[in-house]
Amino acid sequence: MRYILILLLLAVPATAQETVDLTILHYNDFHAQNTPTTLSVRTENGKSERVPVGGSAVLKAMIERERATVPNPLLLHAGDDFQGTPISSITKGRSQFELLELMQPDVMTLGNHEFDYGTENLRTLLPTVTFPIVSANLWDKSRGAPFVPRYRILHRDGLAIGVIGLAPPDLSTLTLRENVRDLDVLPPAMAVRNTMNELERNHGIRFVIVLSHMGFDQDSLLAEAVEGIDVIVGGHSHSALFVPKRVNGSVIVQAGSSGRWLGRLALTVDAGKGTVLNSFGELLPTRVDGVTPDPVVAARVAALEAVVDSGFGEVIGELVHDWKRSSGAESNVGNWMTDVMRDFAKADVAFQNSGGIRKDLPAGPITLRDIWEVSPFGNEFVTFTVTGAELLGMIRYQALVTGEFCQVSGLRYTYDYTVPEEDALRAEINGMPVDPVKTYSVATNNYVGGHLHDVFGLPEKEVTVQPVYPAHVDRDVLIEYVRKQQRIDSRIEARITLIGERK
């Protein structure tokens, strides 16, 4: 009897819960912010001040410090390392892959901006890095296969981890359609569910991380739709989630943008069941005064920036008032850009998508680099014609539906959400009400011109979009106009007045 009892006691630890401590380090939407930027922080006396943060060398130093001190570190990058500063545009993203190879994330997923220079360009860059890049919902039609591997299996302290990547489902509306014409984007929930089943069936993996570039709202919907996702490391919406969100059992994190924070999520995981027992997440400000920058990364950044500084430090004009962007209202920088566009294209009206204006700018000298950073995408101007009735419909769509709010020139409109819809809109061109039967010429950029239904609700097959000749990259035109005007004094002029709130 005693012998049997001893055997039973010895058998108890085999059935006891085995746990693993895991630390996920994460960042997203770096947007080529290879040099430090600033962050507003609270001082000890409660005041707010801006301090230098970020840059690749500082971020690398913080990552290595955390890797050396936390249990079982895992570094994940949720996409959009491309686009935002001149060096990314000049090298078509190669600069970022060079620096990412030095950062060595354990896994990265692709954001929409990785496709800004075209799918073929990205294909040439993928083999230049040694770390895995994954996406479960990108299907390469030209090869009849996933564009990149769908997932990566990692191991930490005996815990098998499946990391599944996701690109934004609306990828074709977030970049030029021609850039992704060879790709299909599969429904995220279906892609994740199928991949999770494969991971468990073929590899016995129950602990799953989704590395997503879909934005916090879409991540939350995914967590609701798919049972069993343990962690979602997100990007795209630039959400600084100082406290992780719990949705249907999934822990969702995201670390803002531009490398201002390094996310750290500490987990205790039931290794047998593959479930999270405890979690604690936070965002660590990447303060320049907190670490010694990594010398190898710093040297590479300096070499890349020298390429930019050799020509991009030239002062080409002066800004009288700070340029401030707005994603849902009129902005003074948007007014100036659309004025330039309308004048260059000799159009009646001009529209600039607010999301294409990428930088605020303080009053003072304007450099070539500033304009590259305000307008980094290298779009060109296009025109099309509409009737006044169609133009009014475009404005209504802007006020009621679209997620891509546009700045305007040549047009002044008011939309009142507090009155019946038939009375809500008033619009005029050159001080005269828009004539429903008159034809008006419209200028915009080729991104908006390729997404007329998404932005304005227009039937794209019925609208003829033509390039503005001579063809110029938009930022080159903006640079020319700064040189010509010298002193930029753009202001808010009540071109767009929205009364009440969208219902």
The enclosing H or E element of 51 equals strand 48-53
pTM confidence score: 0.80
Domain count, the chain: 2
Query: pLDDT tens-digit profile of 236-251?
Result: 999 999 999 999 999 9
Q: Which two tokens stand for residue 311?
A: 């020509």
Measured CA distances, 407 to 244, 332, 341, 410, 412 (Å): 34, 9, 11, 11, 11
CA 344, CA 333: separation in Å to the nearest integer? 17
Q: Is the pLDDT assigned to residue 5 strictly greater than 90?
A: no
Angle 155-157-159 from CA coordinates, rounded to 5°: 50
Query: pLDDT tens-digit profile of 412-422?
Result: 999 999 999 99
Q: Where are the beta strands (DSSP E) in 64-137?
A: 73-77, 107-109, 133-134
CA 169, CA 388: separation in Å to the nearest integer? 34
Average pLDDT over residues 75-100: 95
DSSP line for 322-334: -B---SSS--HHH
CB-CB contact of 207 with 273 (8 Å):
no
Q: Which two tokens stand for residue 424?
A: 């809500």
Residue 5 within any structural domain of the chain: no
CATH code of the domain covering residue 444:
3.90.780.10
Residue 9 within any structural domain of the chain: no
pLDDT of residue 258: 94
Query: pLDDT tens-digit profile of 273-320?
Result: 999 999 999 999 999 998 999 999 999 999 999 988 888 889 999 999
pLDDT of residue 17: 61
**Do 341 and 288 belong to one domain?**
no
DSSP code at position 2: H
Cross-strand bridge partners of residue 246: 251
CB-CB contact of 264 with 25 (8 Å):
yes
Residue 449: phi and psi, rounded to 5, are -60, -25
Tell me how far apart the terminal alpha carbons of the chain are, to the nearest angstrom. Answer: 75
Q: Is the pLDDT assigned to residue 8 strictly greater than 50?
A: no
CATH code of the domain covering residue 49:
3.60.21.10
Residue 1 within any structural domain of the chain: no
Residue 6 within any structural domain of the chain: no
| Boundary of a domain, candidates 281, 304, 327 | 304
Q: Which two tokens stand for residue 31?
A: 């947007």
**Do 187 and 323 belong to one domain?**
no
Angle 160-161-165 from CA coordinates, rounded to 5°: 155
**Do 441 and 472 belong to one domain?**
yes
**Do 266 and 318 belong to one domain?**
no
Residue 4 within any structural domain of the chain: no
CA 70, CA 422: separation in Å to the nearest integer? 60
Ranking 109-113, 230-234, 466-470 by mean pLDDT, the lowest is 466-470
What confidence tier does 84 reach under pLDDT thresholds 50, 70, 90?
A: confident
**Do 290 and 347 belong to one domain?**
no
**Do 288 and 318 belong to one domain?**
no
Residue 3 within any structural domain of the chain: no
* Domain around 432: 313-499
Query: pLDDT tens-digit profile of 145-186?
Result: 999 999 999 999 999 999 999 999 999 988 888 899 999 999
What confidence tier does 49 reach under pLDDT thresholds 50, 70, 90?
A: confident
pLDDT of residue 470: 80
Residue holding tokens 């078509």? 92
**Do 424 and 463 belong to one domain?**
yes
Q: Is the pLDDT assigned to residue 211 strictly greater than 90?
A: yes
Q: Is the pLDDT assigned to residue 7 strictly greater than 50?
A: no
Residue 212 within any structural domain of the chain: yes
How much is the mean pLDDT over the chain?
93
Picking from 96, 83, 77, 76, the residue whose alpha carbon sits closest to that of residue 175 is 83
Roughly what angle, to the nearest 10 degrees, separates helices 56-69 and 295-312?
A: 170
**Do 26 and 69 belong to one domain?**
yes
CA 335, CA 494: separation in Å to the nearest integer? 10
| Boundary of a domain, candidates 304, 331, 350 | 304
DSSP code at position 175: S
Residue 11 within any structural domain of the chain: no
Average pLDDT over residues 99-106: 98
| Boundary of a domain, candidates 269, 304, 339 | 304
**Do 290 and 324 belong to one domain?**
no
Average pLDDT over residues 90-97: 95
Q: Name the residue type at position 138.
A: L
**Do 245 and 357 belong to one domain?**
no
**Do 350 and 436 belong to one domain?**
yes
**Do 464 and 351 belong to one domain?**
yes
Residue holding tokens 């799953």? 208
